[in-house]
Amino acid sequence: MATDIVNVGIFIDADTIISTQGGNTGNPVFVNNSANTIYMVSQKANEISGHGAAELNVKMHPNQDIRWRASTLTFGGQYTVNLYAISVTQGESLLDRVEPARSSEMIAEINPNDIQNPNVLEANLGYWSATAYKEGNVTYNFYFQIMKPHADGTLETVGRFYWDPYIDISWDN
């Protein structure tokens, strides 16, 4: 049985995208090699196919929500990513209420002084959400920024990109 909310994690290989396509701060550039730089995953109960690929097929039922959140594969703070827009290009009538949202979450951070008792950080995290309205195939463009964090707490946009994933909305019987 599918879960109540379909959560999709998007992992972006920012290092490879910047090294192969360069940075750009103007109009977004299509990610030429999304199959090797963007990875989408969801809970196994929701998955039809495409786990770990740039395209993901999921099972949903009427009025079920889907949420997308992105992160970079770059650890250590070299880059961070921000999904800043979504544009449905095919199957627009299949999704409803496509919009950005935020959630306040508690995150465990390794405590080097006591590994089994992590520090707790509170973070406001952004994601995109939509509601399945009808069964079918939806193609959309996700627009994202790759940003470089600075010591003073600011972020510098080093690239704007997009790719065109799709999802199959198949009612979970």
CB-based contacts of 71, cutoff 8 Å, min separation 6? 9, 10, 11, 12, 81
Please give the average per-residue pLDDT across 32-56, as a whole number.
73
> Between 152 and 57, whose confidence is greater?
152
CB-based contacts of 173, cutoff 8 Å, min separation 6? none
Over residues 73-101, the pLDDT tens digits come to 877 778 999 999 999 888 888 888 889 98
Lowest mean pLDDT among 19-28, 37-46, 61-70, 122-131: 37-46
Report whether pLDDT(42) > 50: yes
Average pLDDT of the chain, as a whole number: 85
Report whether pLDDT(1) > 50: no
Give the model's pLDDT for residue 27. 93
The pairing of strands 119-132 and 95-109 is antiparallel
pTM score, two decimals? 0.84
The percentage of residues in the chain with a pLDDT greater than 90, rounded to a whole number, is 34
Geometric angle at alpha carbon 164, from 162 and 170, rounded to 5°: 140
Q: Which two three-digit tokens encode residue 126?
A: 């952004």
pLDDT band at 118 (very low <50, low <70, confident <90, very high): very high
Query: What residues form DSSP beta bridges with 160?
Result: 145
Over residues 60-75, the pLDDT tens digits come to 777 888 899 999 987 7
> Between 99 and 168, whose confidence is greater?
99
Query: Among 87, 88, 96, 93, which Cα is nearest to 136's?
Result: 93
Geometric angle at alpha carbon 149, from 146 and 154, rounded to 5°: 110
Residues 99-109 as b/e (b if ≥16 CB within 10 A, e otherwise) read eeeeeeeeeee
- Count the Cβ atoms, other than its own, within 10 Å of residue 162: 20
> Between 146 and 140, whose confidence is greater?
146
- Interatomic CA distance for residues 56 and 72, integer angstroms: 18
End-to-end CA distance of the chain, in Å? 8
Give the model's pLDDT for residue 33. 76
